[in-house]
Amino acid sequence: MLTFEQLLETWDGETAVVHRDPESGAWIFVCLHSTRLGPAGGGTRMKVYDTPAEALQDAMRLSGAMTRKLAVAGLPFGGGKAVIAVAEIPSGEERRALLLRYADLVASLGGSYRTSSDMNTGEADMDVIGERTEFVFGRSVEAGGSGSPAPPTATGVYHGIRASLSHVYGSDDLDGRSVVVQGAGGVGSPLAEQLASAGATVFVADIDPGRAETLAARVGGAAVPADRVLDTDCDVFAPCAVGGVLSVATVPRLRCRIVAGSANNQLAEPEAADLLQGRGILYAPDYVINAGGAIAIVGLEQLGWGRSELDTALAQIGDTLRQIYERADAEGISTAAAADALAEQRLKVG
């Protein structure tokens, strides 16, 4: 593991704020990777880490991903991320007090970093943070937020799947197409519903088999055991559960033509993107196809959008993917590399 000094020396971001919270013993890291296109936006992750350096590294890595995600989504925001590294996940009054102290830290950055929820933080936590600072997205509707980002994320993935089908088969028609949705959660459920309504045959897998069966029954599809997703014949595999599903070990097993889902960090290692390309499997880069939730909260809470502007922006995810696929084909590079190149280009001209 690298030391703090080594991490700071080798990071390509702008500013890392290091804060120790003496009351709880937590370490808080706020990483502003880029403010090139606007204030650094990104969620607050609360997690137990082995060492503070590991937490800093996570915040740095995640903030870089936010820069690319928000640039490709065409939003006037840079990339950031905060990590609250705790000894154990707090609850009750202890959690509230920690979040208020954290909110003061966010407020002290004067809007250069704007937060939202991430792993182990949610709407209720954003409401608490909102008591001390205006620089927070994703509060509850009652507190002035725009509600759960999961449904717009699913709609963005739906448009991304259609664009991917169009690229592979020459038609975005879902009728007669089969999709395996991995994860029957906040994103997977509305996605499965939209796909089924458009005529697709939907297979659902979840580590909770009851959840998979309930969703499969609701959409007129079938449940698949969680350990069989890679081996199931389908047109589209939609990972909507955990990261790291695409690796040197798993890609050779895939029996689909397209991988397009909401999960973050789908590539366990960069080589997996080249392997997918080599096997002729079209991969929709995760941070492009899963940007719908970020687009919704920024659009509705900051840019003053209404429903129709949001619908247009979510459909745009399909157009962006088409552009990425064409670039990948033209340059003979993986779709992951083409997405990164598009992000770089937007950061240069922005």
Q: Tell me: does residue 268 bind ligand NAD (CB under 6 A).
A: no
Provide the β-strand partners of residue 136.
115
Nearer to ligand NAD, 83 or 263 (CB): 263
Whole-angstrom CA distances from 292 to 39, 134, 310, 312 are: 19, 22, 9, 11
Half-sphere exposure of 195 toward its Cβ, with a 13 Å CA cutoff? Answer: 37
Residue with tokens 């996940």: 89
d(CA 64, CA 79): 6
Is residue 180 a contact residue for ligand NAD (CB under 6 A)? no
CA distance 67 to 64: 5
Any catalytic annotation for residue 348? Answer: no
Site stretch for ligand NAD (CB under 6 A), options 16-24, 53-61, 238-246, 304-312: 238-246
Q: Which is nearer to ligand NAD, 87 or 242 (CB)?
A: 242
The pair of three-digit structure tokens given for residue 335, joined into one six-digit string: 């779709």
Q: Could you say which DSSP state residue 38 is in? A: S
Tokens of 46: 């609360």
Query: Distance between CA 125 and CA 26 in Å, rounded?
Result: 16
**43 belongs to the binding site for ligand NAD (CB under 6 A):** no
Rg (CA), the chain: 20
Nearer to ligand NAD, 39 or 293 (CB): 293
For 339, the token pair is 């997405």
Residues 215-234 that bind ligand NAD (CB under 6 A): 226
Cβ at position 204, least distance to ligand NAD in Å: 9
- The CA distances from residue 28 to 12, 81, 84, 123, 142, in Å, are 20, 11, 5, 20, 28
Considering only 83, 128, 230, 240, the residue that binds ligand NAD (CB under 6 A) is 240
Residue with the CB atom nearest ligand NAD in the bound state: 185
Selected binder of ligand NAD within 128, 187, 219, 272 (CB under 6 A): 187
Question: Which of the residues 47, 69, 81, 348 is marked catalytic?
Answer: 81
Give the nearer residue to ligand NAD in terms of CB position, either 90 or 186. 186
Copy the structure tokens of residue 120. 């182990």
Per rule CB under 6 A, is residue 276 in the interface with ligand NAD? no
Choices 88-96, 120-128, 237-245, 318-326; region in contact with ligand NAD by CB under 6 A: 237-245
Cβ proximity to ligand NAD: between 113 and 237 the closer is 237
Please identify every residue annotated as catalytic.
81
Residues that bind ligand NAD (CB under 6 A): 149-150, 153, 182-188, 205-208, 211, 226, 240-243, 262-264, 290, 293
